Amino acid sequence: MARTPSNMLPLGTMAPNFKLPDTISDKVVALENIKGEKGTLIMFICNHCPFVKHVNSKIVELATTYQSKGIAFIAISSNDIVNYPQDAPKLMKQTASEEKYSFPYLFDESQKVARAYEAACTPDFYLFDNELKLVYRGQLDDSRPGNGIPLTGLDLSNAMDSLLGNKPINPVQKPSIGCNIKWK
């Protein structure tokens, strides 16, 4: 299992816009149409990564809590499906159903969106405010497959709570660590 850290896009960066197919609804969606009223969490994930599999339940739990508070959750897979067919759109749809994703699971076939966000690993988390300015990027929490640390989602939930409470978000943010994005 490769351990790749996120690139830590500069805070304040505007979210790059995109239009991508949603593997759940089979519709093309644009960021401006699915962004949240109070914030937007963009996650680069994939089906096969053990780091993503490790956090899937917590992502779903956080989505249940925070979507109702005005934070949109958006998942994007940018992996090369020629060499990693387990990440193909039809299997993304299946994973979304099995994991009970309540958010879009978008396919970035060209990998242009991942490059625009400087995404490096799965999972990679980006939290934007209501103006789509980056306020948090980094890890879900300190838990990793096999490290024995409980999965809490604390780093990300603290950032979302601060955003919702109009409080400063701690600028000291730890990079996410996961499998590298499978570039073409």
Instruction: Write out pLDDT tens, residues 32-85.
Output: 999 999 999 999 999 999 999 999 999 999 999 999 999 999 999 999 999 999
- For 19-35, what is the mean pLDDT? 98
**pLDDT value, residue 3:** 79
H or E stretch covering 160: helix 154-164
pLDDT at 2 over 80: no
Rounded Cα–Cα distance for residues 49 and 43 (Å): 13
Distance of CA 180 to CAs 45, 56, 121, 140, Å? 10, 17, 4, 16
Rounded Cα–Cα distance for residues 60 and 33 (Å): 21
Quote the mean pLDDT of the chain: 96
Distance of CA 133 to CAs 32, 67, 72, 129, 143, Å? 13, 18, 14, 5, 27
Amino acid (one-letter) located at 50: P
pLDDT at 181 over 70: yes
Percent of the chain with pLDDT over 70: 99
Q: How far is CA 166 from the centre of its chain?
A: 22
Would the pTM count as exceeding 0.85? yes
**pLDDT value, residue 4:** 80
**pLDDT value, residue 5:** 83
